[in-house]
Amino acid sequence: MEWLSLTPGLLIGVLALLVPGLLVTLAARLKGFDAFALAPAVSIAIIAVSAIVAGSLGIDWALWVPLAAGALVALVAGGVVALARRLGIADFPGERSAADSTPQRRGRRAPWSETSGARRWMPAEHRGGVLSRGKWFSRGQATYWVSFLVAALLMARTIKNSLGGPEWFSQTLDNNFHLNAVRFIAETHNGSSFFVNAMTTGQGPIPYYPAAWHDFVSLIFMGTGQGSVPAATNAAIFAIAGIAWPLSMLFLVRATMRFNLPAVLAAGPILTGFTAFPFLLIKFGVLYPNFLGIALLPAGVGIVINFFRMSRVRRVDTVQCIVLGIPVALGVGLAHPNALMSLLVIAVPVAVVRAVLQIGGGIMRRSRWWAVLLQVVAIAALLAAVWFLWGVIRPAPGASTWGPSSSDTLAFGEALVNSPVSEVSPQWVVSALVVIGALAILYARRNHWLVLSYGVLVYFYISVRWLKWDQDRMWITGVWYNDPFRVAALLPVLAIPLAVVAIHWLSEALMNSRLSARWSGRRRPVMKKTVGIVAMILLAGYTQAVGPMKEMVGQTYATYQPRADSQLITTDELDVIDHVNALVPRDQKIVTMPWNGGGLAYALAGRHVTASHALYIPTPSVDIINHSLNEAGSDPKVCSAVHQENARYVLDFGKKEVNHGDHSGQYAGLADLEQRGLATTVYQAGDAKLLKITACGEN
């Protein structure tokens, strides 16, 4: 029952995640499932951009800001789409033309060809191509809503088991920044990506930081009133993993091709069954911005394949692709820049295949050469832009990066069996489905882009695990900080559609086999539903109950569980922080060493600290305190620094650090304060102490 405490925060999160974007997608003339599926990506863009605009205009950050911004963007989007249709320049969704198709070999029928059994069960929405204006609801959409509901429930269960408790938080290094940034945004009422880094830069310039995640969590935190930052963060995890990710992924599945009923129903458990995402990123790092960006990434891929007409079913017309593609790309990029670069990486094979098809159409005289030339030049310009951005959007020189850690064969094996960074056992069933789906696509000679783009992601994963520095490692994988965890989390984005293709192909083969010959006429729909329900139940049971998922859940649980030997904050240290609120006046600052978790007193107790993250730039006075506080009795500049910072308290959490480092030399001034008679203990739990500085008087 304790998890019910997250209900208010989750409701606010769902409101912020759906409403602004839904206003825009509806204004752009999308309907039904597609309007909802694209809403989260558009909403995150509106949240992040409106936070930047509000910060520059001096408007206090609050929930009404993105809601109002969503209404304004909706007016613009609706006007553009309406004008395009009035002028007749909006091509409505429909079947691809012959010029867009690859001819089939004589006597060879694709597993999902127009004459296969898939055609007969399709609801009216799918027969003869997608209706140009869509519907609010249909039997075809109903299967996607059922699949979404199954995915949301399974994801909620697994996330709950992974997080452990509604108030638990990740005991990892970067959570110093993530939790404190939420408190900082709420207190300053400024969520601008050009301001949030002021928390860690002392008196220096404020660099850009993608704050979409923190803006979203801050809305939940501020909206719940008396809630805590960890609870707001966990509510946001539920909202993104349980709502944004399934909707975004199902939009990509829905945009890829016309799937039969068993495949659509199986998509829900399949998208919750890969350990690499979202679980890997809420365990390691912790990488919340990357987690948000990749959750929205499938929506961007779906827009891309609609724009390039690489699917037999177009859900969004060209003008809608542009109008909605811009905010979707912004949402992905403002969540994390490397998520945007990942979208471009996936889009490159799509654009190349489109160019090849256009050239083929020109050679076969199915397309006019001037149109072919124009489109090929545009695609070449796009590829040139990707190449340019590849050298620009990457970590700053000196940023933390990872070196090679594996052989190329091991890395390929990890990608093949979906065992990311060898963190969990191989996932044999979903991996087999991915391979079968790829083979089915190659056999049918349609949707080549899916296999090619997946191959590109596998290439980058092998590179990030194996490539040496002198082999252009920084150029090839520097976009992802050379971090295999970030690249591994990308693989499910395209592995999931491939697995769904496999279910479609296998179920079609089953329903067209001799064993099913007696299921004819009116009984055939019963067979399709039976196959779909059985596939959904079996996959749900397998993906959630077998070893790899249990291993990932257990590992994640261990990184969130507060223990006597926790990496970041032990139970004794957490006890001390719980008493800070009552013992430290609100206007006074606490001296902390961020490597041992003391900096989280800001996020958890609402008291300002001298170091809110391990990677921060201290002010000159804080630097004096860190190095010389234990010389306060003999060095007058120390007390001057204490008075300037109004830092009267110290959290003494010992020398044990997260990630097992040793930065005690940078904080030598915090040692032996009691022994030198410079501070007294105010509260103690085990070896963790809250000290009050007595050497500098009360002024």
Placement of tokens 């004794």 in the chain: 572
pLDDT category of residue 108 using cuts at 50, 70 and 90: very low
Q: Identify whether the C-beta of residue 183 lies closer than 8 Å to the C-beta of residue 177.
A: no
Cβ(424)–Cβ(493) under 8 Å? no
The mean-pLDDT minimum among 210-214, 252-256, 521-525 falls in: 521-525
Mean pLDDT calculated for residue range 339-345: 95
Lowest-pLDDT range of 85-89, 301-305, 470-474, 554-558: 85-89
Question: Which H/E stretch holds residue 435?
Answer: helix 428-444
| Choice among 46-55, 105-114, 452-461 with the minimum mean pLDDT | 105-114
Beta bridge partners of 609: 590
CA-CA distances (angstroms) from residue 53 to 56, 289, 378, 692?
Answer: 5, 20, 32, 41
* First-to-last C-alpha distance (Å) of the chain: 48
Q: What is the pLDDT of residues 651-686, one digit of tens each?
A: 999 888 888 888 888 899 999 999 999 999 999 999
Q: Which of 88-92, 387-391, 518-522, 533-537 has the lowest mean pLDDT?
A: 518-522
- Between 139 and 560, the more confident residue is 560
pLDDT at 116: 36
3-state secondary structure 292-337: HHHHHHHHHHHHHHHHCCCCCCCCCCHHHHHHHHHHHHHHHHHHCH
689: part of which helix (H) or strand (E)?
A: strand 688-693
User: Counting beta carbons within 10 angstroms of the beta carbon of residue 63, is it exposed (0 to 12), middle (13 to 18) or buried (19 or more)?
Assistant: middle
Mean pLDDT of 113-132: 32
- What's the CA dihedral at 686, 690, 694, 698 to 10 degrees? -160
Most confident of 396-410, 618-632, 685-699: 618-632
* The total number of residues written for the chain in this structure: 699
pLDDT of residue 110: 39
Confidence of residue 517 (pLDDT cuts 50, 70, 90): low
Confidence (pLDDT) at 362 = 76
- Specify whether the CB–CB gap between 539 and 531 falls below 8 A: no
Q: Please name the helix (run of DSSP H) or strand (run of DSSP E) that holds residue 18, with its range, or none.
A: helix 7-27
pLDDT digits (tens, 9 = 90+) for 389-417: 998 888 777 666 888 988 999 999 999 99
Instruction: Look at residue 7 and tell me whether its pLDDT is greater than 60.
Output: yes
Structure tokens at 387: 């190449």
| CA distances in angstroms from 602 to 35, 229, 597, 616, 694, listed in the order given | 39, 10, 11, 15, 22
CA-based nearest residue to 296, from 41, 49, 48, 14:
41
Please give the average per-residue pLDDT across 51-57, as a whole number.
96
Q: Are strands 647-652 and 589-591 parallel, antiparallel or unpaired?
A: parallel
pLDDT at 346: 96
Quick one: pLDDT at residue 15?
97
Whether the per-residue pLDDT at 454 is higher than 70: the answer is: yes
CA atoms 98, 100, 102, 107: torsion sign: negative
d(CA 324, CA 36): 13
pLDDT over threshold 60, residue 104: no
Q: Nearest Cα to 426, choosing from 403, 406, 410, 439? A: 410
- Average pLDDT (267-271) is 95
* Residue 361 φ then ψ, to 5°: -65, -35
Residue 157's closest CA among 533, 544, 562? 544
The β-bridge relationship of strands 589-591 and 688-693 is unpaired
Are the C-beta atoms of residues 39 and 266 closer than 8 Å to each other?
Answer: no
Residue 188 has pLDDT above 90, yes or no: yes
Average pLDDT over all residues of the chain: 88
- The closest of 395, 421, 391 to 336, measured between CA atoms, is 395
Is it the case that residue 128 has pLDDT exceeding 80? no
Once rounded to an integer, what is the mean pLDDT over residues 344-355? 92
One-letter amino acid for residue 383 of the chain: L
d(CA 471, CA 398) in angstroms, rounded, equals 19
CB burial of residue 233 (10 Å; 0-12, 13-18, 19+): buried
Given a cut of 60, whether residue 221 has pLDDT beyond it is yes
Do 169 and 179 meet the contact criterion of CB atoms below 8 Å apart? yes
Parallel/antiparallel/unpaired status of strands 679-685 and 647-652: unpaired
Q: Is 129 exposed, middle or buried (0-12, 13-18, 19+ CB in 10 A)?
A: middle
3-state secondary structure 492-541: HHHHHHHHHHHHHHHHHHHHCCHHHCCCCCCHHHHHHHHHHHHHHHHHHH
Of residues 110 and 235, which shows the higher confidence score? 235
Average pLDDT (517-527) is: 63
Confidence of residue 102 (pLDDT cuts 50, 70, 90): very low
Q: What is the pLDDT of residues 193-211, one digit of tens each?
A: 999 999 999 888 999 999 9
| Average pLDDT estimate for 156-160 | 95
Whole-angstrom Cα distance, residue 569 to residue 597? Answer: 5
Provide the token pair at 128. 């003869």
214: left (phi over 0), alpha (psi -120 to 50) or beta: alpha
> What pLDDT was estimated at residue 659?
83
Which of 162-171, 455-464, 466-475, 508-517 shows the lowest mean pLDDT across its residues?
A: 508-517
- Paired tokens of 438: 């790829």
Lookup: tokens for 448 = 């080549």
- Give the model's pLDDT for residue 101: 39
pLDDT attached to residue 56: 95
Which amino acid is present at 378? A
- The model's pTM: 0.91
